Every structure is written in structure tokens, then in C-alpha cells.
Structure 1
Amino acid sequence: MLNLDWFQPYDGVIHSTGVIYAAICNLPRDMRFKRENMLVLGLLPGPNEVSLHQINHYLAPIVNELVLLWDGVTFDNTFEKICGHISALSSCYRCEKKANYENHKYNFAGMDNMSEWFINRNSAQFCENALGWRRCNSNAARNRFVKTTGVRWSELLRLPYFDPIQFLSIDPMHCLFLGIAKWIVKRIWVDENILKPETLKEIQKKMNQFQVPADIGRIPGKVECGEGFANFTADQWRIFFNIYATVSLWKHLPGVDKKILTRFVRICSILVGRIVQSNLMDEAHQKLVEIVKIIEQNYGRDMITLNLHLSLHLYECAKDFGPLYAFWCFSFERMNGMLGKMLTSKNILFLLKLILNSIPLFIF
């Protein structure tokens, strides 16, 4: 499992540092994301994020090593931009859905004809188009080719087993919690004045009455701050909807929004489980479809965001990779925080030790 993530290692300075991580999916889930078992394959020093196909320069040496591993390696005693897709803001990675450009912005509305576009993209056609991109002899030709096909070349396509459609998972942390949960509360209920400032104070007061086990994580305590629900982390959004949302929000929401709330709470309760059943995943998928339809019908096409669309593919990802907790990005975000804190003189030796323990490693 590969993940490219960017973070800001310095305070008060705009400087993006990138890290290419790998997790070994053959390890049990309780061991897979431990610090000592995660691989740091590459550090991209910045100060800016690389763009478009330039990521291939960083992927090439990593892919060379992966090809050797695929062919077989004998050891003696001495010894998800990155896949070639264009921006998801204009076209879905996994299905045939294209974004609508309306009112000067993109949306993914169109649930009435879902059967026409909710079809898996063709991996063979994608690879053929990627090779076509490589044959372009100028940047202008490549740009025209991308506008036509929506595909670029990726070094990962040199791996004989790599499927650029199926192997590209949707991260539940960003999609479900930072994407949909945050968006529903802040963009619909707070910005549309359904939850007013005085209402937020009542919600906070109600939440303060909860008695919850200490091991569930940090309890959200910022509901009434600023514009409402200020600076909630992904984990706090997860906790909020799984524990607090139904009781604290119910009397403040109109009928349509109660439908959104009950469905989303049920979705979260199913998807965050460590053991999932096929019939429950079917239920979660159906309720996600219902939420998107309710929002489109009651709040307009402009409100159907990329994350709402991508959530429709979480069911497929769960079938391919297991329960959502087995491939969400919480562990990679934790590694970002650890690496950021290590960029000081007293920790630099520990950072070097961590890097040297990750083989292969490439610093660009």
C-alpha cells in the first residue's frame, strides 16, 4: 500500500515536504501501521508540491526496486497523482462519471442517470492511453492528449500486477470524515443558518452532559467556537457522529436534515467497524446513495461535491481491501506528525535511523 502525503514541517513558513510511505498489507492490521513496520520510501524536500507527471521522476527508482521484488530476490546472510489520473475534480478515478461545470464550478450531480455512469473504468484502455501519452513529443501535445483522454503516464504502470483503477483506493478518513461529515455540518447546517450561534451553544451544553469511556479518544469541545465546530480533526468528526450527533442535533434539524443525519450516523457505525458483513456494507452503500439524492433534490446540484461522489465507491474498496479501518490514512497522518517533529537538531539522528531502517529509500 503506497501513500504520498504532504505536510508543513515548519511553523510560520509555507514549505511543503512530501513523503512516500509504504505499508505491507500482508501483515495483520494490528501490526501493519506500527511505526517500525511502515516504510519511508522517499522524502521530497519541497518547498512546493510536485505537479502532474513530474512525480514519475520520484517514483522511477522505487518502481525499479518493486520490479526486482516481483521477479524474485534472493537474500544472503549479509543483508494514492501517482497513478497517472488527472484531477478527480474533473473526472472520477474509478467510474465513468465526469464532473459537471455549472455556475462557474464543478459538481458531481446527476443521480437520476446513475446507471449510465456508475460503471468501472476499463484498466486496459487506461494503460493504452497512458502509453499514448508517452508517445507525445511535446508538452502541448501531452496537454491536448490529457484533455481528450484524462490519462497520463505513471511509472507504477511498469509493475506487471498494477491495476490503475482497482488499486486506487478511496481514503475513508479524508472522504468520509474530513470530506462529508465536516461538509454536511458546516456547509449545509451552519452556513445555511439551520444551526444558529445560539443553537451551537445548546449543542455544546448537551454534549458536555455525556459520560463516555476515556479510551474513545479526544472529546470534541469546540462546537460553539468561531463559526462552529472549529478545527475538528478527522477523528473528532468520527467520534461526534458515532456518539454525540443524534442526541445533540435531533431537535434542531428539520425533517429533511434528520433524514441525512440518521442515514449518515448509520453509515459511520457500519463503516468504522473492524468486522463488516456483506449485507451491512450493502446497507451502507444504499444509504450513501440516498444521502446524495436527498442533498441534490433539496439543496441543488451545486452541493454534490467530489467527496459525496467518491463515497459511492467505498463499498468497492472494502470488497477489494477489507474493512475501511484497514486502509484509511490515520496512520500515515500520524507519521507526518512524527517526521515533522523530528526536523530539529536533537532529533535528527533518530530521524536518520528511522530512514535507514526503511529499505529501499530515496531522498530527492
Structure 2
Amino acid sequence: MSLVTSTDAIYDYQQSPALRALYPNSQQKNDAMVLELAFSLFTDWFNLLSNKAAGKKVSFGVLALNFLTLPPTSRWKPQNTFISGLVPEPIQPNMGRRVFVCVGCLLGDLVAKHKVAGFASHSATQFCSWCDSPKSDIQQLQVGRLRQKRLVKDYSQAFKDLKNKAEHTRMVKKSGIRWSELNWLDYWDTVHMIPIGIMHNLFEGILQHHFRNLWKWDFEKVELNENEDQEHDSGDNCEIQDGDTSAQAGLSW
């Protein structure tokens, strides 16, 4: 997809001089790695109760984006419209409100989360997003030294500043960290805002498989042994108490 650049006549937004001025570098048009996209921003308010002279008015606002790079026949279809914002009813706000919005956590499977967060693959030398244990220690159940937010961001920025692919490879092998666009958020904590995936680990039973089959942790036997120990301890206490009573009785005689 590319913008129409014909200057003979203007029939569409794509031929607008203002729009074409946003992409002045014509040399990039032959670059397969460059994709030029343009969107329109639409805004309007609607009465949800329909427009009647004596009817009630409930104002509802919409902010929508449409993909101008698409041809006009496809541009305005519902499936190509992105509703980017809503202004709730019943009336238009007459003053601003401070709104605080944040990305609270990153959800997904292990592969997807590592890609988005800027961590190396789960098969890399530094495979873990929570600690700095190398892959050679993966069979050890002890948790390694936990990663620190500031250090992770420093490594991520250092990766971004590198220009050479070989240097990128060495950096990832050393730290297990790449650049992530989430690091533009000052509050973003790459270490603590990536929870364990629920679907694979809990719903599909991967954690249970690791504990029961790979690590041979049998929770039923552990629970049974604990109950037996409690019964045994309570029995010992009864015998000791009986013995103490008999001894006291003997002394009283």
C-alpha cells in the first residue's frame, strides 16, 4: 500500500498536498522496510434517544480513526474503523478532568511476553525475566539473584543505542535483554509487571506437570505423611499425660 501521488487532479485524501507533504523522502518509497500509513481522526456527538424536537437529549461522543492508506471503497467499512475513544453520556463535559491511565501488567504466553518486554528467548543463555540464572543452572530449584528494574532498563537502553548486529547479539547473550517500547513509560517495571501466564501454567496444567512429573513432588503423599505425623504426635502426648498422671498418683500414695 502507498499513497496516490498523482498531481493531475485531486479526487481523494491520498492526493492531498498536505498529506503527501508528510512523506517528503521519496527515496524511502522503494524501501521494503518502510511502511507509510495515514489515518483520519473523526469526532462527533450523537443523541442516543434519536433527534426529536421535544425529545430527551443524551449526548454520546465518539472518536474514531480510519485508515486513509486504504482505497476509498474499503476505507470506511466498520471492520476498518478503530474506535479510539468514547465520551460518555448524558451530557457533554463542560470542563476537563485529570485522567490517569497506565499499563498495569503485560499478559500473554512466555514467548509473546518475552518479545514485547524485550527479554531473550526462553532457550537463551540468560533465559529468565525474573532472575539472572544462566541456562546451565536451569535444573537447580534455587531462585537466582533477582533482576532489578533500573538495571534492566539500563541494559535495554544500551541495546537500543547499539548500531551493530554483532554487538546486539553479544549484549543479549550477556544480559538476556533487548530494547522494548514499553520502556518509554517511566513507571514501567519490566521485572514486576509481567505475571505468570494463567492459561498455559494453570488451565493447561503445565505447572502441575512440572511439579508432579518432572520434579516428582507428590502432594497427596506429603499431605498424608503430615496427617500421620500429627496423629502420632497427639498419641505420644496422650501417653505422656497418662504417665504423668500415674506418677503423680504414685507420689500421692
Q: TM-score, normalised by structure 1?
A: 0.27
Greater percentage in helix: 1
RCO greater where, 1 or 2, for CA within 8 Å and sep 6 or more? 1
Between structure 1 and structure 2, the one with the greater Rg is 2
